[in-house]
A and B are shown apart, each in its own frame.
Chain A
Amino acid sequence: MKNGLLKPGDYFLRGNYAFVEGALLAGCRFFAGYPITPSNEISAMMARRLPQVGGAFIQFEDEIASVVAIIGAANGGVKSMTATSGPGFSLMQEAIGLAFMIETPIVIVDVQRGGPSTGLPTQVGQGDFIQANFGSHGDYETVVYLPNSPQEMFDMAIKAFNTAWRYRVPVIVLADQMIGQMIEKVSVPSHDEIELVEYEKPEIPPEEFLPFDLRYEVPPFVAAGDGYRIHLTGLAHDERGYPTTDHETYSKMLLRKLRKIWDNADEIVEWEERLTEDADLIVVSYGITSRSVYKAVSDAREKGLKVGIYRLKTAWPFPYKRLKELAMEGRNILVVEVNMGQAYRVARQYISHEGVYSMPWAPGRVPPPEAILKKIEEVYKA
């Protein structure tokens, strides 16, 4: 650990710690947060690790201050993140809209627990699926990753920072209590194999620089102190960043920001497919639930049922194109998740036939493979 970063190799690492190490390797040097179970291992480890790599950690008075602090730090040019769970994530929603509005790259990990409200602080949930892209007001977009192992906590930490800084958007990693707290093998690659997105000062002379320049898909990022004039506000603004109520200007500005995600969705979306080719039924899942689905589907295959797996690795943008293709070739779809059917509702929007089924499951525990297999058998007959 010469430079303070985790050396390449295989580790037996807790999901939440794996995220910390991935984030530090991605260049994260500021963390602001407020403690909440089951995300605490992230903030506790960040408090220990950040000073070792020349970064800073601040515990704030609440989640609102924390998320606003990372927006501020990111505008100072520092890769920044926070970690929370359901109740804290709810408090952060307004500022997520702010980060989108002022095109600030931030990373938020939501280690989901059972909700709503205080819910089940120590137990698993996946009920923030919709909220992660719709919790703030107005039209905005986030990119949301769905890790299903400590290895993916590590990998997606790096990915989250890269996506946030490439598109200048808030990126959310939607983990869950099981994935955050379970321990598994995490392979850390050689550091020079890790590709990182870093901001570069624009070549435009300062007097010509417009912080929200409409000629760009993603305008160049400048940090406070780089010598460029910037003005940031949550109000509708023009290319200079100054408030405006001019409808045409605002339409253009809003659409440009949304299109960063809309037009690059094919690049951003990720999913995992197994055994789909000959399948009659595809089971859609994500996070810890997908681990139970792996087992249920392999048991179903042993019983001769042609079942495949479509695992979401991004929630938003929703990787619908390939799923739609599989469905339209005549396959039925079953969505399994630890909530009452959030991803199911989204999947149904894209698939026009009737064979889309939901397996709702209350938070608190992961649906066991036997329960999923039973549902598979039930749906398979239909």
Chain B
Amino acid sequence: MVNKDLKIRLIGAGGHGILTLGMILGETAIKNGLEASMTIGYSPAQRGGWSRADVIISENRIDYPIFTDPDILIATTQETYDLEYGNVKDGGLIIYESSLVEPREVEGVRQIGINAIENAIKLGNRIVANIIILGFFNEITKTFPEDLVEEIVASRVKKKYVDLNMKALKLGREMAYEYVGKGVMKG
């Protein structure tokens, strides 16, 4: 459900699955008949740094793959949230990892915290925190058909992890239902 360019900036600590999440979004877009581009950035540190994936999803050919003003920001650490929250477009959306991020006041931007890491640990492996975020993101934004997201995620992981990842996607979706159910966001 993309009417124009959708610019998504994903940023977090190395190991948070940021680049994987970007790859999944891009691949899902392509398989959905859309155009997608992704550029990658890293902090200069060799260890303990952050990584960033900038994804554009569009119905049209993407002329310029670089942007500084995302429609949607997904940030999984305080450092990366603080770097980027001020750049989000007016009317945009921020999804942050609530166990690690204390959100700031931002006018004109909707912010949602989700505790993906602890929930991933409860599912059995913290590595699927990014997949919980994906399930949540897609349910909130309705960007892609649900089964297509499942198909792409399943195709990217080893067979023995498919089940875990499907559970993570489902949990993310359920967290979104719960969030929407609170009446904070309707329609």
Contacts and interface: CB of A to CB of B under 8 A. Distances in A.
Nearest to B39: A182
Interface in A73-116: none
A279 B30 CA distance: 34
A292 interface: yes
A185 B63 contact: no
A182 B36 contact: no
B22, B35, B42, B62 — which one has the most chain A CB atoms within 10 A of its CB?
Answer: B62
Given A12-B23, A12-B36, A178-B39, A185 B66 contact: no
B21 interface: no
A177 to B, nearest CB: 10
B63 A183 contact: no
B63 A294 contact: yes
B40 interface: yes
Contacts of A319: none
Contact of A184 (B22, B37, B42): B37
A11 B23 CA distance: 11
B71 interface: no
Nearest to A365: B66
Interface string B59-88: 000111110000000000000000000000
By DSSP majority rule, is chain A's interface helix, strand, loop, or mixed? mixed
B30 A10 contact: yes
Interface string A284-302: 0000000110110010000
Nearest to A178: B39
B151 to A, nearest CB: 14
Contacts of A295: 63-64
B17 interface: no
B65 A291 contact: yes
A11 B30 contact: yes
B64 A369 contact: yes
B31 A292 contact: no
A368 interface: yes
Contacts of B40: 181-183
Given A11-B30, A12-B26, A12-B27, A182 B37 contact: yes
B38 A182 contact: yes
Contacts of A366: 66
Interface string A243-280: 00000000000000000000000000000000000000
Nearest to B68: A368
A345 B83 CA distance: 40
Nearest to A295: B64
Contact of B36 (A122, A184, A298, A369): A184
Interface residues of B, number: 19
Interface string B24-53: 001101110001111110100000000000
Contacts of B39: 178, 181-183
A292 B30 contact: no
A12 B66 contact: no
A125 to B, nearest CB: 16
Nearest to A291: B64
B27 A298 contact: no
Contacts of B35: 184-185
Contacts of B63: 291, 294-295, 298
Contacts of B23: 12, 183
Interface in A9-55: 10-12
Most chain A CB within a 10 A radius of its CB, from B37, B62, B64: B64
B30 A12 contact: yes
B50 to A, nearest CB: 15
A366 B65 CA distance: 11
B65 A184 contact: yes
A40 to B, nearest CB: 14
Interface string A171-190: 00000001001111100000
Nearest to A122: B42
B117 to A, nearest CB: 26
Nearest to B53: A183
A45 to B, nearest CB: 15
Contacts of A12: 23, 26-27, 29-30, 36, 38
Interface in A102-145: 122
A298 B61 CA distance: 13
A311 B51 CA distance: 32
A178 B37 CA distance: 12
A20 to B, nearest CB: 17
A182 B65 contact: yes
A310 to B, nearest CB: 16
A12 B34 CA distance: 11
Contacts of B22: 183
Contacts of A368: 66
Interface of B: 22-23, 26-27, 29-31, 35-40, 42, 62-66
26 contacts: A10-B30, A10-B31, A11-B27, A11-B30, A12-B26, A12-B27, A12-B30, A12-B38, A178-B65, A178-B66, A181-B40, A182-B39, A182-B40, A182-B65, A183-B23, A183-B37, A183-B39, A184-B26, A184-B36, A184-B62, A185-B35, A185-B36, A291-B64, A294-B64, A295-B63, A295-B64
Given A12-B27, A182-B37, A182-B40, 14 more contacts: A10-B31, A12-B38, A178-B39, A178-B66, A181-B40, A182-B65, A183-B22, A183-B37, A183-B39, A183-B40, A184-B37, A291-B64, A291-B66, A294-B63
